[in-house]
Chains A and B, each alone.
Chain A
């Protein structure tokens, strides 16, 4: 049973923003898979749910002329997976979208909702971080572009200002041949929240990015920088250096899903595996060239 909220369908993004600005306890509503769970538990008592799914571009995903990909904030995860599957460089987001909840959930749950909840364990967040996604935020009077790395402030808290709405997510075109990987540790083999999530992206120019979920108060870009060797020629030492740097960044907690120790341990395990998979992919693609 939910509280007696009203349901609002705005006619434009501006309309939605002004409504949000004038109704402080209204909430943006897309897939509903998280918000309605929390309403049911009485943890959220919104006055209004503002359904943005019908707004222009809200559930659209398309490649722009410059090669970047624009994803409407309310786009369901399954649609994202379908669109990006097979597109080199975006593997991490495909993999992350694929491991959120169940098939039914992914038909509804949106990427915007996944990050706007600002859960430290959000699966798509580490993927978006390594892909250097930018967020198009629209407000009552203005709009701005924010790197996803600046979006998460604390558990449940984002950089959205009052009246501001996440409209779309832009993924820049990766240089070829970029490879990205998202690996998740969870209790069961399907339909579970992340104990740890690790996203890794390897650019052809020796640049590497690593982002982590569920090991800090917010999803974390733990490393972005140049390695001494190109991806296909990585040594174990290279990997271990990366692991030890990344491990320094984490501050996990113990909760129902895992102990802090286990989370810390799994960061290294998953990162090593991600490196293994990514270098293999790089080699395969290199050979195919």
Chain B
């Protein structure tokens, strides 16, 4: 059972034939070579596979590829301007929010989704927004700091 679907990934049009039982994460990683999106559990618990679907953060391991027909997908590869890090990515690097880096793409996408809706989040809001993204290395604190800094460059002291 296959379907032809058309959608955008990072603003590029994609037309592809997918199996009805194929996951979005597999299409991104295996078919489109967008391996920035990671799989950490396959069960929607770790958040490593987080991408934006029409602007909302979702776990791409729990979305069928056929469902994104006509929609817009944004992955970690779509944050930067080619090699130029965006403000959030740069804050992650500068503030020590990255260690092994495996949770980083999903963490960035959750943070991006938050900042797109709320450009002055409180620390509590940041913690909550990323609480569906497990990180075993950093202890989360540097990540929270990085998201705060990316949100408010003016008060960069915080």
Interface residues in chain A, defined as those with a beta carbon under 8 Å from any beta carbon in chain B:
2-7, 32-33, 36-37, 40, 49, 51, 78, 101-105, 107-108, 189-191
Contacts and interface: CB of A to CB of B under 8 A. Distances in A.
Given A36-B61, A103-B110, A107-B56, 8 more contacts: A2-B21, A7-B66, A33-B44, A51-B67, A103-B128, A103-B131, A107-B58, A190-B128
Q: What interface size band does chain B fall in?
A: 20 to 34
Interface string B16-56: 00011101000000000000000000111101001001001
A97 to B, nearest CB: 14
B131 A108 contact: no
Nearest to A79: B56
Contacts of A4: 1, 19-21
A3 to B, nearest CB: 7
A105 B1 contact: no
B65 to A, nearest CB: 9
Contacts of A107: 53, 56-58
B3 interface: yes
Contacts of B113: 103
B63 interface: yes
B20 A191 contact: no
A49 to B, nearest CB: 7
Contact of B58 (A5, A37, A108): A108
A104 B131 contact: no
A105 B59 contact: yes
B61 to A, nearest CB: 8
A5 B57 CA distance: 25
A6 B3 CA distance: 10
Contact of B131 (A3, A36, A102): A102
B62 interface: yes
26 contacts: A2-B21, A2-B23, A5-B1, A7-B1, A7-B3, A7-B21, A7-B64, A7-B66, A33-B62, A36-B23, A37-B62, A40-B42, A40-B43, A78-B56, A102-B44, A102-B133, A103-B113, A103-B129, A103-B131, A104-B50, A104-B59, A105-B59, A105-B132, A108-B58, A108-B59, A108-B62
Centre residue among B23, B43, B67 by max chain A CB count within 10 A: B67
Contacts of A7: 1, 3, 20-21, 64, 66-67
A4 to B, nearest CB: 5
A3 B21 contact: yes
A104 B58 contact: yes
A263 B43 CA distance: 26
Centre residue among B21, B56, B66, B113 by max chain A CB count within 10 A: B21
Contact of A191 (B21, B23, B131): B131
A103 B56 CA distance: 9
Contact of A104 (B1, B21, B43, B132): B132
B11 to A, nearest CB: 21
B135 to A, nearest CB: 13
Interface string B112-152: 01000000000000001101110000000000000000000
B37 to A, nearest CB: 13
Nearest to B45: A191
Contacts of A189: 131
Contacts of B53: 107
Closest CB pairs A-B (n = 8): A102-B132, A190-B131, A7-B20, A6-B1, A107-B56, A2-B21, A104-B57, A7-B66
Nearest to B26: A1
A101 B129 contact: no
B62 A36 contact: yes
Interface in B60-109: 61-64, 66-67
Centre residue among A3, A103, A104 by max chain B CB count within 10 A: A104
B85 to A, nearest CB: 23
A21 to B, nearest CB: 21
Centre residue among B50, B64, B133 by max chain A CB count within 10 A: B64
